Every structure is written in structure tokens, then in C-alpha cells.
Amino acid sequence: MTNLKNGFVAGFAATAVLSVLMVIKGMMGVMPELDVAAMIATMMGASIVVGWIVHFMIGTLAWGGGFAVLYDMIPGTSAVMKGIVFGIAAWLGMMIVVMPMAGAGFFGMNFGVMAPVMTLVLHIIFGAVLGKVYAAMPATGQTA
């Protein structure tokens, strides 16, 4: 059963975890040029604050809601596996569509070979958190 509220909560939680990891990565000096919020802000001609807000909106509404809507169709034997599959699909979309739009090239290769690897790992973590939180949420009876 599709439950958008649970999807949004799970999407927000997964985006928060992903964001903390992104900030830690940047603070450690690991690929600081690979800053998704800054890339979004630049594409929009807006401030970094707007970039972060849009980043959270995408993770919460688009990915969280999309996960809830597509949950039954996503392959996997557990919510965490479904989340990981979904996270990998989101990563693929980012690599093929968003990275080139942001000027980072196909699969972000303008940043080097580590860009797709690092973003894949982050999206796998995002997906695992997404699935785990979604499964842990009580059903509210609200369906889409």
C-alpha cells in the first residue's frame, strides 16, 4: 500500500543522513568540489541556502514520495533492499541527467573517476536509510 506520508518522512531522514555524510566528506577535504547543494544553487542562480532547501525537497518529496508510490514494484526481498535498488536508480538518474546539466559531465567525470564511485556509495546509504525508515513507520491508512 502506498503511503506518501511515510515516504516523505523516510525521504527526509535519508536526505538528512546523506547530507551529514556530504558535509563530513567536504570537511575532510575529500572531493570538496563535489558539492550537490552548491551545484543546485549554481544551476538555479541562487544562494547556497536555496541549494540546500531544494536538495532536501528533492530527497524528501521526489525520492521519498517516489519510493512510496513505487514500493511494490521495486525488486527486493526487504524494505532495505528495495531502498538500495531505488537509491541506485536515483544515482543513475543523477549521473545521466543532473551531472551533465550541472556541467560536471556524464557520470560527473569532470571531477574524476572517484565522483561516480563516491556518489554511488552515498546513494546506496541513502537507499538503505530510506527503506529502513519507511519500513519502521506505522501505516497511517493514508494512501495515494
Q: Who's near 19: CB < 8 A, 6+ residues apart?
A: 37, 52, 55, 56
pTM: predicted TM-score of the whole model, two decimal places: 0.86
pLDDT of the residue at 140: 57
Integer Cα distance of 121 and 130 in angstroms:
14
Tens digit of pLDDT at every position of the chain (144 positions): 458 999 999 999 999 999 999 888 888 877 777 788 888 888 888 998 999 899 999 999 999 999 999 999 999 999 999 999 999 999 999 899 888 887 888 988 888 888 899 889 999 999 999 999 999 998 754 443
The count of other CB atoms within 10 Å of the CB of residue 53 is 15
Residue spans of the domains in the chain: they are 4-136
- Report which DSSP code applies to 104: S
What's the distance, CA 45 to chain centroid? 21
